[in-house]
Structure 1
Amino acid sequence: MRDDPQLAGLPVTPAPWQLQGRGYISLLRFDDQGEQQDRFLPRSLAGRRSRSPYAWLMFVDYRHSEVGPYHELLFIPGSFPFEDGQRHLSISRIFVSSPASVVSGRANWGIPKDLAEFEVRYGVDGLDRVKVSRGGRLFAELDFKSYPLPLPFSGGLIPAGLRTLGQHCGSQSFIYAPSASGVVRPASLRRAWSDAEEFPLLARARPVLTVGVSQFRMQFPVARILPLATP
């Protein structure tokens, strides 16, 4: 995480948050013995990831949140042991377009958010295209396509243990279980490019499954915060 002058003095908007929007979720398979999945991990989680070759990539367009609308790109490399005695998925790299989301995401849930600029264009030659930059320097490009087969879903049907995430931030461990409901559609990730200096190298991954979430409602609850275990 980097400090940014735009973040100075911004207040924390406390949890819980209620969010609405749309986005895409892709399951990726890496074939590089975990080299890219292990990039950007905090030192306290390094070497502790489950050895699965699968990871998650998400692009989210929040239309409504406690800090207003914003875009988000995130990477989940796998699961890790946490201070509650359980293994949880954990976000290792995440960019958002809102300074307020950066500040509150770090404080409320220990999520390592950084600020970036997003260019999002829907329906260009049948594709939804996302470009992400920092300081005018492009570091990620994604092309998604969704298909007209809407299916309702309810995250409340998924046990909390399967949707619980964990983060290490400073000397604290954050445990939280978002819930969501909405409409999903079959989709595909047609193109994924990234600069390895800012994001795991997506060229090393193969998309296995992608869904488009055309509309959702999500709640991010108050996190359970525990002291970081001494290694």
Structure 2
Amino acid sequence: MNESNHAVPAPWQLSGRGYVIALSCSPAFGEICAQDMPALAGRARGGMGVLMVVDYASSNVGPYRELLLCPGRFDIGQRATAAITHIWVSTQASVDNGQRNWGLPKRLESFDTLAHDAHSERVRVQLPGHAPLTLALSRHGPRLPLGTGMLPSAWHTLEQPWHGHFYRTVIQASTRGRFARLRNHDIPHDSGFPDIGSQALGIGVYADGFDLRFPPATRRPIDTA
């Protein structure tokens, strides 16, 4: 495992398994999610967002687990693109390098699997000093080929504000996935994570062997966006 203060530059190659649950997000929800990110204030468009629960078996900083929320798209410059407002990970090396390389607002959390079988699992995630949240997920159906090439560029392009700059990253991924859904969730108001209960849940995907590439980000000052 890399030391937390050791720089591990892009590109990164990651593999593992995880859930991607689509959310139909309102602009108001996007604004709430981004309230700690002043550069995104007034930019939320809503639309399709995602909740992700990921177990990285390998990465450039070793294995780690992740909970991520992208609450739809944001108007940034001449385009509307995705921005991640919440991304909690289980190792300090992932926190430090995710912030440094791509402007991702990563925070360190604890991540526990409470139950797991061939078709479902329940996980608990907790930030230090906050109430834990729990998510129950399930998967079913045949494995089908999937990849970012099947999506419009706006859905695999990130624009992340960080320390006076926007970091733009175009992600590449390939996998075989099954249908999935979020069966239940308990997100206390003091968990530090937005309550997604007010947003409509869409179709989900469970990928049990994905390959993901994070290239170097391009960076520009926020005041030019």
TM-score by length of 1: 0.86
Secondary structure at the counterpart of residue 80 of structure 1: strand
Q: Is the Cα contact below 8 Å between 2:17 and 2:55 reproduced in 1?
A: yes
Counterpart of 1:214, as a letter, is D
Classify 1:103/1:230 alpha carbon distance in 2 versus 1 (closer, same or farther; 3 Å): same
1:191 aligns with 2:187: no
SS in 2 for 1:105: helix
User: How many Å apart are 1:86 and its aligned residue?
Assistant: 1.9
Query: Could you list the runs of 5+ residues in structure 2 that have no partner in the other structure?
Result: none
Distance 1:68 1:38 in 2: 33
Match of 1:206 in 2: 200
Aligned to 1:27: 22
Q: 1:150 to 1:74 in 2, by over 3 A?
A: same
Give the corresponding residue for 1:167.
Answer: 160
Alpha-carbon distance in structure 2 between the residues aligned to 1:137 and 1:43: 23
User: Contact (CA 8 Å) 1:18, 1:220: kept in 2 or not?
Assistant: yes
In 1, are the aligned partners of 2:29 and 2:46 still within 8 Å (CA)?
A: no
Query: What root-mean-square deviation, in Å, do the aligned CA atoms of Structure 1 and Structure 2 show?
Result: 2.2
- Paired residue for 2:39? 44
2:209 matches 1:215: yes
Residue in structure 2 matched with residue 4 of structure 1 by the alignment: none
Listed one character per residue, the Cα deviations across residues 48-69 of structure 1 (whole Å, up to 9, x for unaligned) are 11143x4311111100000000
- Quick check: 152-161 or 127-136, which moved more? 152-161
Aligned-pair identity in percent equals 33
Number of residue pairs the alignment of both structures matches: 220
Q: How far off its partner does 1:107 sit? A: 0.7
Structure 1 unaligned residues grouped into runs of 5+: 1-7
Q: TM-score, normalised by structure 2?
A: 0.89
Q: State whether structure 2 residue 7 is matched by structure 1 residue 12.
A: yes
Contact 2:27 2:44 in 1 (8 A): no
The corresponding residue for 2:53 is 59
Tell which deviates more after alignment, 191-200 or 212-221. Answer: 191-200
The equivalent residue for 1:5 is none
